């Protein structure tokens, strides 16, 4: 069920107190004590004036005033601290939930949103959410109770004066009500603009070497400054509205004060009001400003928190990749099916057709090479096998089962994938090698995998060996990173291995080494390698040639060589001597 804006505060209250109801009760009790202390003070002052006039003993009254003031302040501090802890716990839980959810979204959805925008939701927006806990849950209700209690005391002291005082605040209240209504929209616009700015900046940072090489710093700085200006314009929308609050309230208070002084003076002169009651009333009026200020400013800030919660909801409403997992246990796998089978597969990126009626088989064992000019659809083919993407038409079968019928976790457990960017985590060498493993991998296996890709010496030379964190001050070269990614793949026991251009950064010595690693992998599983360097295809048992999103030829190297002029052209372009 979609969450309406009206339901949101209640839901946030539930999230805040989930498993901590008793803590909330303590916070509420402390707040009540603080409120009672505040309300008692004017009455105790009034009593003190009467006692001074009557020359009575003042000691116990002084003690009572001290207890009310100190007790109230202590209780307010305690409730504020406990509440902030509850708020931070809620923010941490929501933030973790959002991050876990984002990691399970389809790649397309994540890319569509942009990493910077998602980052700003997890950081800046979650900080805004804290305001709801800090202000909305106890401070605002407490302020309402304090204001109502103070008004009741004022009514008890002199109802006529109360009417005079309220006249001043009424005008302010109407204006502030209108301002608060506009604030949530303004905050949503501002948070959206901030997310866009974060996205633009993070994409520029990701491309920093290229930016520097092209000397594009100045031009991109100007574009970023424009995005920043757009964010500031959105921020001004909230600032303008918030700036109205304090003066409007101050004006209301001044009008109320003048009205009380004039009316109170007249009533005192007429003998209708005692001086102690007039002083107590004025104290109440001054005391009323703090809760009313809290209600108006707090309500404005809570709008920012509610807007942030709304942006969280937008993300949580997006379907995760495994949302379409089959509900029933899948049928057993046929023993002799190929590792991968495409049947009349069609796929379009943003309505631009990329694959058309593709039929292909990848055998259960051995090396298959996927070739084609740049943009032919090779990476898209791998993405369909991994189920990063789903075919628009036709079927993709993995180990004899339609890929839509696989539970996603099981499907991905059967496939190891080395992407084109040979991505590594900004984490230790060990973490990068074992990222897909639930159990700890024995160290000798890690060294063996590194040995296979000739990385042992390089890793031993790192400051903390296997535990050196990469991607910061210490890093590997492009070719070493590629070999580390390959070592990760070789540690996997997956039945299907997908390698997207694994040789792009390797020198000829390392390329020979890679061929040996691939041969070892292909001995007992299916290895599909996207090869730009056509030298790799010589060792392949099967070659599939893609051209314009169609399978142009497939079979053994010799057979495709005979059948396909496109293949011969590709080989010639790479200057690989046909055997």
Ligand X SMILES: Nc1ncnc2c1ncn2[C@@H]1O[C@H](COP(=O)(O)OP(=O)(O)OP(=O)(O)O)[C@@H](O)[C@H]1O
Which residues contact ligand X by CB under 6 A? 349-350, 354, 372, 374-380
Distance between CA atoms of 564 and 531, rounded to whole angstroms? 17
- What is the closest distance, in whole angstroms, from the C-beta atom of residue 409 to ligand X in the complex? 24
From residue 371, give the alpha-carbon distance in Å to each of 25, 121, 470, 548, 557: 67, 41, 32, 12, 11
Burial class (CB in 10 A: 0-12, 13-18, 19+), 323: exposed
Nearest to 503 by CA among 517, 491, 523: 517
8 A C-beta contact, residue 341 and residue 360: yes
Q: Is the dihedral of CA 142, 143, 144, 147 positive or negative?
A: positive
Nearer to ligand X, 309 or 542 (CB): 542
Q: How far is CA 170 from CA 6, 165, 178, 237, 411, in A?
A: 25, 9, 13, 25, 65
Q: Which is nearer to ligand X, 48 or 370 (CB)?
A: 370
In the complex, the smallest distance separating the C-beta of residue 381 from ligand X, rounded to whole angstroms, is 7
Tell me what percent of the chain is helix, strand and coil, each rounded to the nearest 5: 65, 10, 25
Among residues 452, 390, 382, the alpha carbon closest in space to that of 417 is found at 382
Q: Which is nearer to ligand X, 41 or 354 (CB)?
A: 354
Nearest distance from residue 386's CB to ligand X, in Å? Answer: 13
Distance between CA atoms of residues 228 and 208, nearest Å: 19
Interhelix angle 59-103/8-17, rounded to 10 degrees, is 100
Q: Which is nearer to ligand X, 158 or 501 (CB)?
A: 501
Q: How far is the CB of 470 from ligand X (least distance, A)?
A: 25
C-alpha 364/C-alpha 344 separation (Å) is: 20
Smallest distance from ligand X to CB 576, Å: 17
- Whichever of 48 and 358 has its CB closer to ligand X, that residue is 358
Residue 464: phi, psi to the nearest 5? -120, 30
Cβ burial 547-567 (10 Å sphere, 16+ → b, else e): bebebbbbeebeebbeebebb
397-435 in b/e form (b: 16+ CB < 10 A) is: bbbbbebeebebeebbbbbbbbbeebebeeebbbebbbe
* Residue with Cβ nearer ligand X (30 or 383): 383
Residue 193 CB: number of other CB atoms within 10 A?
21
Instruction: Assign residue 83 a region (left: φ > 0; alpha: ψ between -120 and 50; beta: otherwise).
Output: alpha
Closest approach, Cβ 110 to ligand X, in A, equals: 11
Q: Nearest distance from residue 353's CB to ligand X, in Å?
A: 9
CB of 199 to ligand X, least distance (A): 16
Residue 118 beta carbon to ligand X: minimum distance, rounded to whole angstroms:
17
Query: In whole angstroms, what is the distance from residue 416 CA to residue 527 CA?
Result: 9
**Minimum distance of ligand X from residue 380's CB (angstroms):** 3
Which residue in 305, 304, 283, 301 sits closest to 293, CA to CA? 301
Token code pair at residue 173? 């209240």
Torsion of CA 333, 338, 344, 349, to 10 degrees: 90
As measured in angstroms, the least distance from the Cβ of 372 to ligand X is: 5
Contact 176, 249 (CB under 8 A): yes
CB of 336: closest distance to ligand X in angstroms?
29
In angstroms, the CA 513 to CA 519 distance is 10
Tally Cβ neighbours within 10 Å of residue 310.
Answer: 17
Q: Which CB sits closer to ligand X, 338 or 377?
A: 377
Closest separation in Å from C-beta 173 to ligand X: 53
Of 72 and 372, nearer to ligand X (C-beta) is 372
Specify the residue, 188 or 379, whose C-beta has the smaller distance to ligand X.
Answer: 379
Shortest Å, Cβ 109 to ligand X: 12
CB atoms closer than 10 angstroms to residue 452 = 20
Burial (Cβ within 10 Å: 0-12, 13-18, ≥19) of residue 129: buried
């Amino acid at each position: 069920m979609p969450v309406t804006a009206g339901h949101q505060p209640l839901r946030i209250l539930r999230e805040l107190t989930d498993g901590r109801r008793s803590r909330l009760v303590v916070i509420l009790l402390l707040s009540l004590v603080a409120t009672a202390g505040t309300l008692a003070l004017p009455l105790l002052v009034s009593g003190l004036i009467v006692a001074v006039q009557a020359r009575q003993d003042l000691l116990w009254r002084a003690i009572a005033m001290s207890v009310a003031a100190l007790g109230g302040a202590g209780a307010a501090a305690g409730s504020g601290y406990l509440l902030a802890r509850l708020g931070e716990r809620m923010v941490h839980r929501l933030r973790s939930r959002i991050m876990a959810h984002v990691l399970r979204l389809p790649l397309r959805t994540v890319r569509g949103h942009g990493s910077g925008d998602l980052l700003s939701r997890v950081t800046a927006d979650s900080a805004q959410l804290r305001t709801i806990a800090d202000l909305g849950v106890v401070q605002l209700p407490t302020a309402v109770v304090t204001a109502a209690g103070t008004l009741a005391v004022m009514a008890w002291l002199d109802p006529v004066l109360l009417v005079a005082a309220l006249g001043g605040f009424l005008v302010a209240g109407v204006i502030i009500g209108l301002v608060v209504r506009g604030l949530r929209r303004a905050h949503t616009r501002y948070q959206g603009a901030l997310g866009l700015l974060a996205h633009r900046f993070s994409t520029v940072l990701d491309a920093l070497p290229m930016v520097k090489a092209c000397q594009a710093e100045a031009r991109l700085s100007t574009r970023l400054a424009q995005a920043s200006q757009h964010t500031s314009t959105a921020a001004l929308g909230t600032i303008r509205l918030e700036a109205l609050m304090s003066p409007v309230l101050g004006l209301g208070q001044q009008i109320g004060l003048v009205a009380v002084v004039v009316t109170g003076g007249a009533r005192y002169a007429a003998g209708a009001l005692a001086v102690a009651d007039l002083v107590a009333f004025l104290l109440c009026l001054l005391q009323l400003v703090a809760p009313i200020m809290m209600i108006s400013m707090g309500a404005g800030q809570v709008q920012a928190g509610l807007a942030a919660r709304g942006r969280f909801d937008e993300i949580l409403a997006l379907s995760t990749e495994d949302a379409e997992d089959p509900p029933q246990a899948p049928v057993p796998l046929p023993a002799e099916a190929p590792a991968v089978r495409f049947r009349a597969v069609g796929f379009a990126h943003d309505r631009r057709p990329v694959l058309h009626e593709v039929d292909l088989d990848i055998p259960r064992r051995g090396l298959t090479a996927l070739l084609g000019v740049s943009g032919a659809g090779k990476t898209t083919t791998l993405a369909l096998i991994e189920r990063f993407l789903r075919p628009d038409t036709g079927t993709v079968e993995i180990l004899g089962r339609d890929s839509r019928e696989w539970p996603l976790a099981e499907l991905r457990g059967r496939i190891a994938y080395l992407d084109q960017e040979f991505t590594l985590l900004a984490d230790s060498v060990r973490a990068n090698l074992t990222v897909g493993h639930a159990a700890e991998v024995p160290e000798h296996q890690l060294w063996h995998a590194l040995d296979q890709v000739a990385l042992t010496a390089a890793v031993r030379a790192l400051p903390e060996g296997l535990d050196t964190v990469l991607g910061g001050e210490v890093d590997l070269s492009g070719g070493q990173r590629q070999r580390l990614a390959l070592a990760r793949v070789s540690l996997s026991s997956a039945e299907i291995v997908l390698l997207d251009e694994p040789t792009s950064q390797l020198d000829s010595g390392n390329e020979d080494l890679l061929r040996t690693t691939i041969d070892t992998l292909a001995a007992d599983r299916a290895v599909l390698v996207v090869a730009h360097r056509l030298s790799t295809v010589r060792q392949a048992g099967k070659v599939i040639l893609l051209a314009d999103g169609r399978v142009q030829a497939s079979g053994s190297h010799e057979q495709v060589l005979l059948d396909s002029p496109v293949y011969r052209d590709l080989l010639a372009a790479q200057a690989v001597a046909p055997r």
